[in-house]
Amino acid sequence: MSSQLAKPAPTITTPVPNSTYTSPVKCAGTGIADWTVYLFKVPIDGEDIGSASVGEAGEWTFYAFLEPGTYSVFGQQMANRERSDSTATFSFTVTA
């Protein structure tokens, strides 16, 4: 029986936890090349706030167009029906 090692969670460099932004919110970080990073809202309702493909250099970026409010999110990366570990959940605020 073979075991498969978990893939590491993506790194999220922005948005910064407990910070305030105006929309669109730049979301960026690093991950596994050729995978897709998703940021999911909590509570999990199947909806993500956005996603981006990770480039060959391991970097990803997208802009989330969000209504004013406080958002709790976590990140995860996926490819070929495989999922990475999740990041810790964190919150940020969007103002008008």
Q: What is the pLDDT of residues 8-27, one digit of tens each?
A: 999 999 999 999 999 999 99
pLDDT, one tens digit per residue, over 29-73 is 999 999 999 999 998 776 899 999 999 999 999 999 999 999 999
| Cis check: omega of the bond before 8, within 30 degrees of 0 | no
Please give the CATH superfamily to which domain 11-95 belongs.
Immunoglobulins (2.60.40.10)
Looking at residue 20, its pLDDT comes to 98
The total of other beta-carbon atoms located within 10 Å of residue 63's CB is 13
The pTM for the full model equals 0.90
**Domain ranges, ordered by start, for the chain:** 11-95
Would the pLDDT of 3 be above 60?
no
